[in-house]
Amino acid sequence: MLSPLIWIPTLGAVLIALLPSKLSPAQVRSVALVISGAVLLWTIGLFTQFDLTTASFQMREFMPWLPMLGLNYDLAIDGLSLMMIALNSLLTWIAIYSSVQNKTRPRFFYALLLLVSGGVAGAFLAQNLLLFFLLFEIVLVPLYFLISIWGGEKREYAATKFLLYTAIAGALIFAGFIGTVWLGGTLDFSYEQAAKAQIPLSAQVILLSILLVGFGIKIPLIPFHTWLPDTYVTASPSVAIMLGGVLAKLGTYGLFRFGLGLFPDAWTLLAPFLAIWGASSVMYGAITAIAQKDIKRMVAYSSIGHMGYVLLGGAAFTQLSLVGAISQMVSHGLILALLFHLVGVVEAKVGTRQLDQLNGLMNPLRGLPLVSALLVLSGMASAGIPGLVGFVTEFLVFQGSYSVYPIPTLLCVVGTGLTAVYFVILINRTCFGRLDNQKAYYDKVAAREQVPAFILTALVVILGLQPNWLVHWSEATSQRLVGLTTTAEVNLHQASTSSAALSSASSASSAALSSADSVS
Amino acid sequence: MTAATLPTTLPPSTHEFAEIIHRLEAGGSMLPDTPDNLKQIIGIYKAYAVPMDFYWRDLLYIAEQVFLNPLPAFKYFISQEYLDRPNAYAGDDADLRIWRGGGDAHPELRAFMEKGESNRKLPKLLHHLWHDRVNMEFAEACMRAMFWHEDINPTFNAYLDSDEYRQNSDRAIRAYFKGNLPMLGLYKLFPDMFHEQVKQMSYYANLGLFWEVMAPVFFEMSDLYDEGKLTSVPEAMDFLVNGIFAIAGRPIYHHVFIRGECYEIIPKSQGFTWLYEAALPYVEAVFYRTEPFRGTKSYNAQAEEVPLDQRDFHYGILYADVFPVGSAGIPPTLLMQDMLHFLPNYLIEDYHKHGRGEDDILIQLGITFQRSMYNVTSAVIQALRTALLYPLDDPNLDHLKANRQFFEQQIDRFKRPEARLRDIQDQGYR
């Protein structure tokens, strides 16, 4: 059930690479669309097979590969992975659809895009630390090419920066994994084994810190974020959709799966610090976005801000906040993809991204009225306006975190206010006002160019009105994760370190229990 | 050889728009003479004349028949009689035949009224409610602009304030509300409320009579172009100038028909004429001034965006920004929508080749309309120069200087940054 998610895109990539070169870019794109459409259909099938009642991993697929190294082909899925897989399949299709029709070197482009998609899907499914790491690293190469060949200005710089940062992140993650396995006393890299390992608390803290930095670069958290604005801005819209919508989730996913999953004791200890870190990310992202003059940069910084909520929700680890954090990853993926798609259309039609040059795009006849309207809607979704999915997930995080970390939660609430501020600035400068009569002879936006925006908008609105359809997939999984931290609390008690961290952790988990009751 | 050193011609103008002034002095138009410009302006004259044929009929219908109806719900449903009413300047019985076509409503207009845009034969009321109709509100807005800019029509307005006019309207008001005690009582209590309405009705008549002339002029120009007899922009302008002089003396009056009886509120004998009491005020009120668009200017008094003095108003079609047509708060949209239904095929083809084709056709035709109105304004300027000053080929240097001064004064009004005179010089402005 799970392997096709990896192998359809991978084999599809090979197929596309082997297509005859006389095919037009549009034809190659159609082939890529069919392949990613098949993955999307498979994912929908996965949803029908998913058992909502079990909290543990499902649909296990195991095949020995290199047992000597502890590396096995070991896949399984739970609520957290399921949401990420869904996001990956959907956004891959969207990214391929929204790519410009007359791409240069189309076969290479779409093959790389599908490789990224397959690799990321594998990483989300991997039940083996080494397998996760392999796929995590493999994805870097196609991404490097995607940025450095089809990117905008300064693409070499951005691609190199991205590669260096992510390679370092990979190295840290690898170090963390090796340490975990060695300290656990085996050479088996399977997730199950690693989770059972008894590791002293001090070592746990060190390993978790290493993973935090490694995944923090990927998420990204301040101060490891500086690759992100350059990369997002330089990448072409479809690559930016993959980067922001899916790749950033590798970071948060890794943090939850490996950070929280393997080191619940250390996680409990470090949680207050993580909450503050998340809140600072939110504030930093929002304030920096306010200062930007380039709409794509604004959206890029908004991404930094929104990943802060995920960290806050993870740090609070009540069931509510975890469900909120997982849903926030999905909602952020949808909204960011929508924003990047729309910004890409604006840039393609108007020829600029500068706030001081854009104006009056809401003009019904000569502007981009529909794109502007959707831009307003996605800005509101991002800022957490009720009725749209952003509100639901942010509110879940706040509700789940407030009892545990009131101050960071309040800071994050202020952050959503600031998010509204910069999106209003963006919308005001871009959509409102009047067109410049000298320049405003823009091409019209064809209906088919807006299909991705329609799909994403529909999801953003429907999931905003009926959040259960988003939330209930990850309820059981987050309950299991909360369970991990309650035992962690007992462990910490036995270690009897009466620190301030401990007391806050105990209040956290009692709140977690009570809110777990209220959710289920 | 000494004769050569004497100045026999004027030195070049140093005006910002010197090129345009020289063109006017050579008998040209403010609009550059290109075949494309000619095609655009003539095509739009045609598209403008058809709704205008409805405007003037309905304006007269409202002024003469609807009159003071307190709830004029059906004022845009003109009677068959007004639809068949022969235009005074077209048809076989015309006083002065300008257009060689028939005098009753234009066939394209009749077809549109019958089937509309939806191309379905429905009762009038349904066409109206579905908004499948001529936007008469635009004509009324033009009328109100003329009515409200009081300073531009002094003799006519002085008459509206005279005792004679008050007595005439008093008789009409009493006759109109005969037997209607509540309205008569209201009239007793607030007479000015009713008299002010009558004045407005007189402006309905005034504008209706103005457009009764312009519609056949535009129809005839379109026909001449189709026959290949109009070949340049100055020729088109000259046709307008000649038309203006031919009709300058047509009387402007206001008659009201109540139960079959005619009440002369402004009698023809008053001697108001088309050129001075309708055409020139119209050009000033509608082409230059009108009122600030709700969608582009703030009426906030502290913001001081709207001038205090009505003479400084500059919101007419010569200054209008056409790009926002189709948005909220942009009144010309109504007219553009009306003209859209009657575009000649050659213009539609042209529009499909530019901009967004079908999608922004309203803006493209709006800009064309702006060009053509610059040509009409050029005709008015040339007509005024002919009436008040000297011929263009006058050998007297002082006379030529006077002409130039006049032209420069006129063009000075387009020095404002909003004026589109500079834009229309460029064929790329579409």
Q: Which of B296, B360, B423 sits opposite A365 (nearest CB)?
A: B360
State whether residue B31 is helix, strand or coil: coil
Q: Which of B323, B423, B430 sits opposite A363 (nearest CB)?
A: B323
Residue with tokens 């069931």: A319
Cα–Cα dist A257/B258, whole Å: 89
Shortest CA gap A100–chain B (Å): 20
Amino acid of residue B190: F
Inter-chain touch B323–A364, beta carbons under 8 Å:
no
- DSSP per-residue letters across B88-112: TTBSTT-SS--BSS-SSS-HHHHHH
Inter-chain touch B356–A363, beta carbons under 8 Å:
no
Amino acid of residue B372: S
Q: Which of B295, B425, B313, B372 is nearest to A435 (CA)?
A: B295
Amino acid of residue A408: P
Cα–Cα dist A16/B224, whole Å: 63
Structure tokens at A273: 């610090």
Average pLDDT, chain B: 93
For residue A222, the model assigns a pLDDT of 85
Cα–Cα dist B368/B45, whole Å: 10
Inter-chain touch B359–A365, beta carbons under 8 Å:
yes
B323 touches A: beta carbon within 8 Å: yes
* DSSP annotation of A432: S
Shortest CA gap B20–chain A (Å): 21
Q: Which H or E element spans position A338?
A: helix A319-350
* Backbone φ/ψ region at B134: left (φ over 0), alpha (ψ -120 to 50), beta: beta
Neighbours of B28 (CB within 10 A): 19
Residue with tokens 């003037």: B56
Contacts A444 to B, Cβ<8 Å: 356, 359-360
Amino acid of residue B358: E
Cα–Cα dist A310/A253, whole Å: 10
Contacts of A70 (CB under 8 A, 6+ apart): A128, A130, A181, A186, A187, A188, A189, A190
Q: Which H or E element spans position A61?
A: strand A58-66
pLDDT tens, per residue, chain A with 520 residues: 888 999 999 999 999 888 888 888 888 888 999 999 999 999 999 999 888 888 888 888 888 888 888 888 999 999 899 999 999 999 999 999 988 766 788 888 899 999 999 999 999 999 999 999 999 999 999 999 999 988 888 889 999 999 999 999 999 999 999 998 888 877 788 888 888 878 888 899 999 999 999 999 998 888 899 999 999 999 999 999 999 889 899 999 999 999 988 898 899 999 999 999 999 999 999 999 999 999 999 999 999 999 999 999 999 989 999 999 999 999 999 999 999 999 999 999 999 999 999 999 999 999 999 999 999 999 999 999 999 999 999 999 999 999 999 999 999 999 999 999 999 999 999 999 999 988 889 998 888 889 999 999 999 999 999 999 999 898 888 888 888 877 777 777 666 544 555 455 545 555 544 544 444 4
Structure tokens at B261: 């009886």
Burial class of residue B238, CB neighbours in 10 A (0-12, 13-18, 19+)? middle
pLDDT digits (tens, 9 = 90+) for B58-113: 999 999 999 999 999 999 999 999 999 999 999 888 888 999 988 899 999 999 99
- Percent of chain B scored above 90 by pLDDT? 89
Contact A482, A512 (CB under 8 A): yes
Contacts A440 to B, Cβ<8 Å: 323
Contact B405, B14 (CB under 8 A): no
Cα–Cα dist A100/B147, whole Å: 55
* DSSP annotation of A77: E
Quote the ipTM score: 0.89
pLDDT digits (tens, 9 = 90+) for B193-216: 999 999 999 999 999 999 999 999
Q: What is the CA radius of gyration of chain B?
A: 23
Residue with tokens 């005006």: B15
pLDDT digits (tens, 9 = 90+) for B142-198: 999 999 999 999 999 999 999 999 999 999 999 999 999 999 999 999 999 999 999
Q: What is the CA radius of gyration of chain A?
A: 22
Contact A403, A510 (CB under 8 A): no
Which of A349, A365, A431 to probe the B interface (max B CBs under 10 A)?
A365
Kindly tell me if the per-residue pLDDT of B6 is higher than 60. no
Q: Which residue of B has its CA nearest to A441?
A: B355
Inter-chain touch B359–A444, beta carbons under 8 Å:
yes
Q: Which residue of B has its CA nearest to A440?
A: B323
Strands A58-66 and B254-258: unpaired
Residue with tokens 């009689």: B81
Q: State the Cα angle at A460 between A426 and A2, rounded to 5°.
A: 125
B425 touches A: beta carbon within 8 Å: no
B362 touches A: beta carbon within 8 Å: yes
Q: State the Cα angle at A205 between A201 and A207, rounded to 5°.
A: 115
Contacts B362 to A, Cβ<8 Å: 365
Structure tokens at B304: 């001081």
B422 touches A: beta carbon within 8 Å: no
For residue A200, the model assigns a pLDDT of 86
Kindly tell me if the per-residue pLDDT of B229 is higher than 90. yes
For residue A517, the model assigns a pLDDT of 47
pLDDT digits (tens, 9 = 90+) for B314-372: 999 999 999 999 999 999 999 999 999 999 999 999 999 998 988 999 999 999 999 99
Inter-chain touch B356–A366, beta carbons under 8 Å:
yes
B65 touches A: beta carbon within 8 Å: no
State how far the alpha carbon of A279 is from the alpha carbons of A182, A419, A519, in Å: 34, 13, 24
Q: Which of A362, A366, A444 sits opposite B323 (nearest CB)?
A: A366
For residue A159, the model assigns a pLDDT of 92
State how far the alpha carbon of A350 is from the alpha carbons of A77, A353, A509, in Å: 43, 8, 52
For residue B208, the model assigns a pLDDT of 96
State how far the alpha carbon of A340 is from the alpha carbons of A87, A160, A325, B95, in Å: 15, 22, 22, 67
B325 touches A: beta carbon within 8 Å: yes
Number of residues assigned to chain B: 430
Neighbours of A330 (CB within 10 A): 24
Inter-chain touch B323–A441, beta carbons under 8 Å:
no
pLDDT band at B3 (very low <50, low <70, confident <90, very high): very low
List B256's β-bridge partners, or say none: B263
Compute the half-sphere exposure of residue A9: CA atoms within 13 Å on the CB side of its CA.
Answer: 32
Shortest CA gap B246–chain A (Å): 39
Contact B281, B156 (CB under 8 A): yes
Contact B60, B255 (CB under 8 A): no
What are the backbone angles phi and psi of residue B78, rounded to the nearest 5°?
A: -75, 150
Taking any CB pair shorter than 8 Å as contact, residues of chain A touching chain B are 360, 362-366, 434-435, 437, 440-441, 443-444
For residue A69, the model assigns a pLDDT of 84
Inter-chain touch A434–B324, beta carbons under 8 Å:
yes
Contact A511, A318 (CB under 8 A): yes
Inter-chain touch B321–A444, beta carbons under 8 Å:
no
Structure tokens at A282: 């939110």
